[in-house]
Amino acid sequence: MLIAAMTAALTLTAAPVDERSAQWVTHDVSGEGPVASFLNWNFTSVITRAHCAGGQITFQYFYDFPGSPGPGERVLTVTIDNTDYALTPSVDEMDRQVYTLSPEGKAALRQARNVDLDAPNEADEPWYLGRSAALVNLARRCG
């Protein structure tokens, strides 16, 4: 019994924790369908928002900092399990800047184990989004 308890304790402490999961918020939005938003570390603002539009995954990027490029000048890339997928910029029907993931990226996202978003920020590093279960589920639900 003692050995089983010790083994269980070791398993719990050794299990990887996806610290980023709590930063994801999901909801079905009327007129837009499923939406997944990634919040900053203290949950006070949205970094990126993804949703399914016409069978495609589109992102909006909200993070601004002094000297950051404007929405039309930003280059964004999603890294899914160490493979980069460029996001194609455009403007949606509501005149918002959006970035669309390729069909290949969407297929990879449906099976993702780790996701990063390379987007402008003052640290000049990608946003480490972790396992991104909310984003993976969005991709699976998106036609």
Helix ranges (DSSP H) in the chain: 2-14, 103-109, 133-141
Separation of alpha carbons 105 and 26, rounded Å? 20
pLDDT one-digit tens code per residue, 50-108 = 999 889 999 999 999 999 998 888 999 999 999 999 999 999 888 889 999 999 999 99
Predicted model pTM: 0.82
**Domain ranges for the chain:** 20-141
The amino acid occupying position 125 is E
Nearest to 126 by CA among 61, 35, 34: 61
Average pLDDT value for the chain: 85
CATH number given to 20-141: 2.60.40
Nearest to 97 by CA among 65, 49, 139: 49
Instruction: Please say if the pLDDT value at position 125 is more than 80.
Output: yes
Instruction: Please say if the pLDDT value at position 34 is more than 90.
Output: no
Separation of alpha carbons 95 and 102, rounded Å? 21
